[in-house]
Amino acid sequence: GYVDSDEITITVTEKPKLTLASSATTLFRGESATFTVTSGGQSVTADIYVNGSKITGSTYTFNNTGTFKVQAKRDGYVDSDEITITVTEKPKLTLASSATTLFRGESATFTVTSGGQSVFADIFVDGTKITGTSYLFNNTGTFKVQAKRDGYVDSDEITITVREIEY
């Protein structure tokens, strides 16, 4: 009864694998990372997922702290390996003053720390950056002093009260 069929050849190839890269793997809360996807050295358009949720585009702003898993997926390709992104709070500056009540013509010296360590930062008196860490108060009134530095959360303001010398 039967006639053998013709032989056919089936070629099985591996799906190409996606490779995911990130512009950064450690960020501060509120910063963004840009993701690129390649396969076999060629740029590929793929869906990017952060903690399992598809994002829009290739850049994502991390508004929460924590550890995030990022992966690229596209039909016809093997999913990329996961990249771990770690997001932390910026360290906060702490400003201290040698005095908070002064007489006109006296100086205050300011120190800036973060996490118990001394930090070089810009010091502002009423919004104007001062030179160095001491400031001579030649006017009476109340003055707001704050420390700022890139990569840190600004210090809380210190209020300096300057009074007229009473004789």
Instruction: Collect the ranges in the chain with pLDDT lower than 50.
Output: none
Q: What is the three-class DSSP state of 10?
A: coil
- At residue 12, the pLDDT reads 82
- Going by C-beta distance under 8 Å and a sequence separation of 6 or more, which residues neighbour residue 82? 69, 70, 71
Residue 2: what pLDDT? 87
Average pLDDT, the chain: 95
Residue 5: predicted pLDDT: 86
How high is the pLDDT of residue 166? 81
* Separation CA 107–CA 100 (nearest Å): 10
With CA atoms as reference, report the closest residue to 114 among 132, 98, 133, 91: 91
Return d(Cα 28, Cα 64) in angstroms, integer: 9
Tally of CB atoms within 10 A around 157: 13
- With DSSP H G I counted as helix, E B as strand and the rest as coil, what are the percentages for the chain, rounded to 5? 0, 50, 50
pLDDT for 13:
83
